[in-house]
Structure 1
């Protein structure tokens, strides 16, 4: 049996990052600020939001131009450190 390897990402590329947290303006503002810190200007048309059925949580997807794995690792670390982000995909 051959071992299946994860797909290789070729950088730079458009890379969607989904952030899930409790609904509120703070989540969107903090998420976008962190993305801009690591990825520069972000096209607002590439940001989508979706509320949970009961409206308690929101999923924000931001598509950035990813330049490498270290950049993505830094974004994920900073998002998780906010205390308001529940999950990053």
Structure 2
């Protein structure tokens, strides 16, 4: 068995997919989009989709950005996950 290094992302990376799952609320998408605009001001808002969980307790927000580097992704992740209403950032 060999140790394989995980694939490296080459930056800039267009159409980098991100999924945020949080408590279902009218404010969730506003919160997520405000944070995304801060870290990726040129992101295409037409890539944003929403889906409610089967029981209606949670909502996922999916979108794509042009990722410019690990620092950008880390900062966005940290700011998103810092909010109590956001449960998962993938």
TM-score, scaled to structure 2: 0.93
Displacement of 1:41 after TM fit? Answer: 3.1
Displacement of 1:55 after TM fit? Answer: 1.0
Displacement of 1:42 after TM fit? Answer: 2.6
Structure 1 residue ranges, 4+ long, deviating more than 6 angstroms after superposition: none
RMSD over aligned CA atoms reads 0.9
Displacement of 1:11 after TM fit? Answer: 0.7
Residue in structure 2 matched with residue 44 of structure 1 by the alignment: 45
TM-score, scaled to structure 1: 0.94
Aligned length: 89
Question: Structure 2: which 5+ runs fail to align?
Answer: none
Residue in structure 1 matched with residue 5 of structure 2 by the alignment: 5
Report Cα offsets for 1:28-73 as digits up to 9, x if no partner. Answer: 0010000000010331210011110011101111111100000000
Residue in structure 1 matched with residue 67 of structure 2 by the alignment: 66
Question: Structure 1: which 5+ runs fail to align?
Answer: none
